[in-house]
Structure 1
């Protein structure tokens, strides 16, 4: 029996790697949200005695929500990119030109690259605002409580939460860099609007690419919506 040969991709393009996009969502759900909520609850115990500390963190959570929304916009654009690429594959199956849908894929990839850059800046703001809030809240509470009090952000449990958040911010930054690189690569590859029509793929290649892009779309569809809900819960638990 002859060995089946792998499909050689010519003018079509593979979808981005799903892992960095989905990992960003996972980190937000399992690290950012529970740890920020733990810090919030810790400060709530001292709100009646020292409302300033809780108010500082209230303001910070608002900023963190806004910055995290910028991150999840990257996932939104990744979903849109899959929708745009499906129109290329649809045009091929119908024997129609692909220049116009390829043009929109190029625009989508370029937008994703720019959005990823903004999201990386958002993660830097996220870190800066959190560190500033911890410093200001700790200074405020130090005037009211003995060091080591369970209400302070310097308690062992709360220090661990802050450390986990900061580490996760660094992880998200690296993941966003990966997203950026993938968008940038696709933007470069799709600059020539006639590249597919001048070198049409085989039916088998088209079929394989359709399946891969459909898998990407099915896996990332709606994740950004849930991400925005996570961001909202950070400010409005």
Structure 2
């Protein structure tokens, strides 16, 4: 937003719900990952008597596509983190009596990215749901050649695909709700009477956004570990390295501190556009 007059006071909006960030991550760890493992185990059991390099190629591509989906989900968290940082800069400018137009433009840019990217992620998930269904169908056809019994694989894969589809639907609904919340926080509006918010209002709004900022901090959610688990073995046959505890998807803040600097250096080139 550009304006000839400084942006002085606004009707503050609180951040989007923290539930969105937490629940999306829970679905990724507690639905997507277990179902990918379940399908892999069912496939391994079937391949014990029906070995096929063609099946391995199909499944490797499925896992690669699943890892892409996880990467897209991670980006939403990173964008939320950036938006919260931008809003806090905007809030501080208003509190200190400085022109908040520049920080406000950064905030608007960041939230617009979240709004657009969330829609893209919804499409990626829905497309992957169809891709994995088709892939399992192809694998079943290959396994059932020569009238071999694949009933066990069919049962396991059908149940797993149902669980996976349910997770996709829930995650997509959460992202749609998140888009609505992001659209709402974009409507920070100028107070035409220039009534300065009270210190209590500044304090309350700042604390809410600081909590949202902290909860959006990607290293705390161990997305790279989840990505490695879903991606599976490397092409050379060596297993992907993963040191996380699958029953505890969110690591403690203290244990993640040593990883944060390297993590943000790695991802900074792709997360900084809204601060340019």
TM-score normalised to the size of structure 2? 0.73
User: Unmatched 5+ residue regions in structure 2?
Assistant: 1-8, 233-239, 241-276
Q: Deviations over 1:21-47 (max 9, x none)?
A: 211100000110111012112223416
User: Unmatched 5+ residue regions in structure 1?
Assistant: 1-8
Number of equivalent positions: 222
Corresponding residue of 2:101? 99
Q: CA RMSD in A?
A: 2.3
CA contact (8 A) 2:136 2:157 kept: no
In 2, the alpha carbon distance for the partners of 1:106 and 1:199 equals 22
In 1, the alpha carbon distance for the partners of 2:134 and 2:171 equals 20
Q: Deviations over 1:105-134 (max 9, x none)?
A: 111111110111111111111111111111
- Quick one: structure 1 residues 224 and 52, their matched pair in 2 at CA, closer, same or farther if it must change by over 3 Å? farther
- Quick one: structure 1 residues 77 and 51, their matched pair in 2 at CA, closer, same or farther if it must change by over 3 Å? same
Corresponding residue of 1:148? 151
Corresponding residue of 1:73? 75
Corresponding residue of 1:3? none
Corresponding residue of 1:28? 28
Corresponding residue of 1:5? none
Corresponding residue of 1:173? 172
Corresponding residue of 2:58? 56
1:40-55 correspondence runs (5 A): 40-45=40-45, 46=47, 49-55=51-57
**Stretch deviating more after TM superposition (66-75 or 202-211):** 66-75
CA contact (8 A) 1:82 1:216 kept: yes
In 1, the alpha carbon distance for the partners of 2:90 and 2:183 equals 19
In 1, the alpha carbon distance for the partners of 2:213 and 2:173 equals 22
1:179-198 correspondence runs (5 A): 179-187=178-186, 189-190=187-188, 198=194
Corresponding residue of 1:158? 157
C-alpha displacement at 1:222, in angstroms? Answer: 1.9
In 2, the alpha carbon distance for the partners of 1:196 and 1:44 equals 66
- Quick one: structure 1 residues 112 and 198, their matched pair in 2 at CA, closer, same or farther if it must change by over 3 Å? farther
C-alpha displacement at 1:224, in angstroms? Answer: 7.9
TM-score normalised to the size of structure 1? 0.85
In 2, the alpha carbon distance for the partners of 1:140 and 1:163 equals 21
Structure 1 segments (4+ residues) deviating >6 Å = none
CA contact (8 A) 2:20 2:175 kept: yes
C-alpha displacement at 1:223, in angstroms? Answer: 5.5
Larger RCO, structure (CA 8 Å, separation 6 or more): 1
* Local SS of the residue matching 1:173: helix
* Local SS of the residue matching 2:150: coil
CA contact (8 A) 1:98 1:196 kept: no
